[in-house]
Amino acid sequence: MEQKGSVLMQRYEFGKLLGQGTFAKVYHARNLITGMSVAIKVVDKEKVLKVGMVHQIKREISVMRLIRHPHVVELYEVIASKTKIYFVMEYAKGGELFNKVVKGKLKLDVARKYFLQLINAVDYCHSRGVCHRDLKPENLLLDENDNLKVSDFGLSSLAESKRQDGLLHTTCGTPAYVAPEVINRKGYEGMKADIWSCGVILFVLLAGHLPFQDSNLMEMYRKIGKGEFKFPKWFAPDVRRLLSKILDTNPRTRISIAKIMESSWFKNGLQKPTSITIGNEDLAPLDSDDRVFEVCENGGPIPESKQKQPKPTNFNAFDIISFSTGFDLSGLFEDNVLKKEMRFMSKKPASVIVSKLEEICKWLQLKVSKKDGGLFKLERSKEGRKGILGIDAEIFEITPHFHMVELRKCNGDTMEYQKIFKQDIRPALDDIVWTWQGDQPQQLQQKVVQQEEQQQPSNT
C-alpha cells in the first residue's frame, strides 16, 4: 500500500521512505488536492496490539491533537484501515537536528536559536499539561526555513497520567538525555525531567558531544546521578551558569523554564521568544482515538477526521442533534483534550438566560459587555498566563421557548477557561439548562420530539 506512487484515501500520494522504526515507517507524501508536502507515519496495528502499545498510540493522537505551536510538528489528520494507522503530519524538510550535531558543535548563535525555539515549544506543551519525556536531537526536526519542530510524542504524558502522589513513575526516555530522578525510579515531575533533557541538548549543541557519556551504561547512569560533567574551555561564563542550574541533580532546586527565559544568555538571543504567535490552538476535530483500532467490515479505510462544522444561522431538530457528541466523535476525546467551546439547550426565555449569565458574572467578578444580536463577552479583570481570559456567550433562538447557548473561549489561556467553566460556570447554570452538548443522540432526539409535540396544538 505504501509503495512510491500509491495513493491513500484518494488524497495522499506516497513518495520516498524517510525513516523507520520497530512499529512504524515515515514517508514523504503529497496532498493531491492542495499539492502540499506532508509526512505520513504508518503504524502496523498487528505489531502494536501484539506488544500492548495500544494506549501509547491513543495517547500520541490525543497529545498531538492538543498541541499546536510553531515549533511543534502539527498533526493534520489520522486515518485507519484494517491493518494500518496513518498519521498525516507536517513535513519537516530539513530532517533531524541530530544530523547537524553528529558533524560537531554548532555556532553559538545557531545553537542559541534552536534552544530558544525548543524552550518555547516545551513551555507551551507544559502549559497544556503535556510532558514530552523523550527530548533529544533525533526528535527535533527542522523545517525548510531551518526552524526547529519538536516531534514524536509517543512517550509523552498528560497530567492525568500522574499517580496520587502527583508524580510520574514510568521510566522512559533515551539514557544519555534522561534526568537522574527518572533513573532512580522513585517518581518524578515530567516537567522537571524535560528541563534536564533541554539542558543536555544545549550542552550537545555547544560542545558537539554529550555531557554524560561512558561505554558502560551503569557508569553513565552513575555520572548522571552525581551530575559529573566538565565544561569545554570555550563555554562562556553565562552559559556555564545557566547549564549548571539546568543540570541540577535535585529537581526541587533545578531552574524553571520561566527563570531560563530570564537568564542573560537566553535574552541575548537573536530574537526574543515572546514574539512567537501561537495562533488557533485547536486542530480540525479528530474522531475517537479508540476508533483507530476498529476493524472495518469491508476492509476499507476509516477516516479519523472531518471538517469543522459551520455554525448554522437557523436551527431545527436535526441541527440540534448534529451538535451532540454522539455524532461529533471528537467529544470522545473530552477526558484528554481541552475544549474551547461548549453548548447547552434551554427551555427558558432569552431574558431569563441573559439574567442568569449576568448573575454569574457578578458572582465571579467578570465584566459583561453586550455585542450585536445575542452575543455577550465575559472578561476577567486580572491578567492570566496568556493574557486576560475572555469568553463569548451567544444565544440562538430555535423557537420562542427553546434556545441554544454557546460558550467559547476567545482570549486567554484554555486551561484557565476549562477550570472556571467546570468549577464555577457549569454548576451555576444547572437551573436553566435543559441538556448539555454531551447528551447521547437518542436522548436528545427524544427530548426534541417531546418539545415539538408539546408546542403543537391538540386535535382533541
The pLDDT tens digits of the residues spanning 347-404 come to: 888 888 888 888 888 888 888 887 655 677 888 877 777 788 888 888 877 766 778 8
Residue 175 banded pLDDT, cuts 50, 70, 90: confident
Using a pLDDT cut of 70, give the percent of the chain over it: 73
Just give the CATH number of 311-454. Answer: 3.30.310.80
Looking at per-residue pLDDT, the higher value among 420 and 265 belongs to 265
Question: Is the model's pLDDT at 443 over the cut of 70?
Answer: no
Catalytic positions: 134
Residues of the chain with CATH 3.30.310.80: 311-454
Residue 305 has pLDDT above 70, yes or no: no
CATH 3.30.200.20 in the chain, residues? Answer: 7-90
Q: What are the DSSP E strand ranges found in 21-97?
A: 24-31, 37-44, 75-80, 84-90, 95-96
Q: Does residue 196 have a pLDDT over 50?
A: yes
At residue 4, the pLDDT reads: 75
Q: Output the pLDDT for position 265.
A: 94
Residues of the chain with CATH 1.10.510.10: 95-275
CATH class of domain segment(s) 95-275? mainly alpha
| Average pLDDT of the residues in 184-205 | 91
According to the model, what pLDDT value does residue 453 have?
Answer: 54
pLDDT tens digits, residue range 2-33?
777 789 988 999 999 998 877 889 999 999 99
Q: Give the residue with greater pLDDT, 309 vs 228.
A: 228
Structure confidence at residue 212 (pLDDT): 94
pLDDT of res. 26? 93
- Type of residue found at 272: K
Q: Is the pLDDT of residue 172 over 60?
A: no
The whole-angstrom separation of Cα 15 and Cα 5 is: 6
Q: Which CATH number, 3.40.50.300, 3.90.380.10, 3.40.640.10, 3.30.200.20, labels domain 7-90? A: 3.30.200.20
With b for 16 or more beta-carbon neighbours within 10 A and e for fewer, the 103-128 pattern comes to eebbeeeebbbbbbbbbbbbbbbbbb
pLDDT at residue number 1: 57
- Judge whether 41 is annotated as a binding position: yes
pLDDT at 254 over 90: yes
Mean pLDDT, rounded, for 165-187: 72
As a whole number, mean pLDDT of residues 82-87 equals: 91
Q: Which cell numbers hold the place of 384?
A: 492570566
Question: What is the spatial distance between Cα 407 and Cα 32, in angstroms, rounded to a whole number?
Answer: 37
Residue ranges of E strands in 138-269? 140-142, 148-150, 157-158
pLDDT at position 446 is: 54
